[in-house]
């Protein structure tokens, strides 16, 4: 928990943000729509968040002077990416409210700590084991094969992960990952991948968004379908598990809990993200209150908003690949064709340079029925030349 108590603050006050990416950009827009001003601290100029924020401190996340200026001007600080130094949040919490806490972020930054904490909540996780040194790789790990070796820290969007089938492959993967602390996780037979976003305020009040069904391509989220195509009992269980995890962490802010639905174990948690999440972007257009407004409400000490979804939605990620032809030439995607479809909402993140695999924006399809939303989403993919998902 932060050392400074959260209080309700009036519009016109400054809210602080660590991080300058697209999640921060959407937070800025939501907070500004409610009348707040946003001060971003980020080491990169003209980033997605900094370009729309009311002001920016150009500094490293551990720069003492930059953090002091942020604390002096703002009534509270939040973050838009999970790898912000927990120590920076801890330092800020000594003078202003911080959401989420350094403790919560610290747990989420280490897969082994994360899994231990989730398990302690009584929520299942995938079978796994720690690999801290080469000697840890022995026959006792055979039950986890085939599996995935993941770095304990700093992995996202498929980075820091190696699929393995044998112990020799585990050893090679550990070596290739520079022998940093890792986790070997059993590869499970997945029926679905899902996520639940939960907003929890400083009073312990919670609001969950509808369960999202996620599909990936090359380890990066490609498509989100909401509500997920699961039965009501599983949806209720996923939301209850997300609330339990947020409560156990005494979490304050917006938290994403990612789930696997597996043949062997049913519903298990894959990982948590202590921030708004790519799979929740649909909420901007399809819910009464979006995940970014919830983030601003919590930081400003306001009541949580209604998370009710008013329309079926399909979100399609837009990666930098779309800006390049097969011959490597740069081309602007055919937005005029996409936007001729009435159910389509386009969100671009203002990034100056498109790169292969880089998240440049997303499209949300809002329709009267899920069947129609899926048809339109496929039409959008066809127009833009987006390939099929891996799952």
Asked whether residue 185 is marked as a ligand-binding residue, the answer is: yes
Strand ranges (E), the chain? 14-18, 37-42, 55-58, 77-79, 98-99, 128-131, 147-151, 161-164, 182-186, 190-200, 206-208, 212-217, 220-226, 253-262, 266-273, 313-319, 344-348, 359-366
Residues paired with residue 345 on neighbouring β-strands, in sequence order: 364
Asked whether residue 150 is marked as a ligand-binding residue, the answer is: yes
Asked whether residue 160 is marked as a ligand-binding residue, the answer is: yes
Rounding to the nearest 10 degrees, give the CA dihedral for residues 146, 152, 158, 163.
Answer: -20
**Rounded CA separation 55/47 (Å):** 12
Asked whether residue 280 is marked as a ligand-binding residue, the answer is: no
Asked whether residue 36 is marked as a ligand-binding residue, the answer is: no
Q: Residue 14: count other Cβ atoms within 10 Å of its Cβ.
A: 19
Asked whether residue 171 is marked as a ligand-binding residue, the answer is: no
Asked whether residue 7 is marked as a ligand-binding residue, the answer is: no
Asked whether residue 187 is marked as a ligand-binding residue, the answer is: yes
**Rounded CA separation 58/45 (Å):** 7
Asked whether residue 271 is marked as a ligand-binding residue, the answer is: yes
Task: Identify whether the C-beta of residue 265 lies closer than 8 Å to the C-beta of residue 5.
Answer: no
Which H/E stretch holds residue 64?
helix 64-73
Q: Rounded to the nearest 5 degrees, what angle is found at the Cα of 322, between the Cα atoms of 154 and 48?
A: 55
SS3 state of residue 3: coil
Asked whether residue 161 is marked as a ligand-binding residue, the answer is: yes
Asked whether residue 351 is marked as a ligand-binding residue, the answer is: no
Asked whether residue 265 is marked as a ligand-binding residue, the answer is: no
SS3 state of residue 285: helix
Asked whether residue 186 is marked as a ligand-binding residue, the answer is: yes
Contact partners, residue 239, CB within 8 Å, separation at least 6? 196, 198, 208, 211
Asked whether residue 270 is marked as a ligand-binding residue, the answer is: yes
**Rounded CA separation 108/79 (Å):** 13
Asked whether residue 217 is marked as a ligand-binding residue, the answer is: no
Which segments are annotated as binding site? 111, 150, 155-161, 185-188, 193, 216, 270-271
Annotated binding site for ATP: 111, 150, 155-161, 185-188, 193, 216, 270-271
């Amino acid at each position: 928990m932060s050392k400074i108590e959260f209080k309700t603050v009036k519009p016109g006050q400054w809210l602080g943000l660590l991080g300058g990416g697209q999640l921060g950009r959407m937070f800025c827009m939501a907070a500004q729509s409610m009348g707040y001003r946003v001060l971003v601290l980020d080491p990169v100029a003209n980033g997605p968040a900094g370009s729309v924020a009311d002001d920016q401190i150009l500094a490293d996340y551990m720069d003492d002077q930059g953090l002091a200026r942020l604390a002096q001007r703002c009534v509270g600080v939040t973050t838009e990416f999970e790898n912000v130094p927990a120590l920076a949040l801890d330092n800020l919490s000594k003078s202003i409210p911080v959401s989420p806490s350094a403790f919560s972020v610290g747990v989420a930054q280490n897969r082994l700590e994360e899994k231990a904490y989730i398990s302690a909540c009584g929520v299942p996780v995938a079978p796994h084991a720690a690999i801290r040194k080469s000697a840890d790789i022995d026959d006792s790990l055979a039950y986890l094969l085939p599996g995935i070796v993941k770095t304990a820290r700093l992995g996202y969007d498929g980075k820091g992960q190696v699929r393995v089938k044998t112990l020799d492959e585990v050893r090679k993967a550990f070596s290739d990952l520079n022998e940093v602390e890792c986790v070997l996780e059993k590869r499970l037979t997945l029926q679905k991948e899902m996520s639940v976003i939960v907003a929890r305020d400083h009073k312990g009040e919670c609001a969950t968004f509808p369960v999202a069904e996620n599909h990936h391509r090359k380890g990066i989220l490609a498509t989100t379908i909401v509500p997920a195509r699961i039965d009501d009992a599983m949806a209720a269980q996923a939301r209850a598990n997300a609330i339990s995890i947020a409560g156990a962490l005494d979490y304050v802010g917006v938290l994403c809990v990612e789930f696997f639905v597996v043949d062997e174990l049913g519903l298990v948690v894959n990982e948590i993200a202590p921030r708004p999440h790519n799979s929740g972007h649909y909420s901007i257009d399809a819910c009464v209150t979006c995940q970014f407004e919830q983030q601003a409400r919590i930081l400003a000490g306001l009541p949580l908003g209604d998370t009710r979804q008013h329309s079926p939605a399909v979100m399609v990620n837009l990666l930098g690949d779309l800006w390049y032809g097969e011959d490597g030439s740069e081309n602007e995607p055919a937005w005029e064709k996409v936007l001729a479809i009435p159910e389509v909402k386009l969100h671009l993140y203002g990034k100056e340079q498109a790169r292969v695999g880089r998240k440049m924006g997303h499209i949300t399809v809002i329709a009267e029925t899920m069947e129609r939303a899926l048809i339109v989403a496929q039409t959008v993919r066809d127009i833009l030349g987006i390939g099929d998902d891996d799952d």
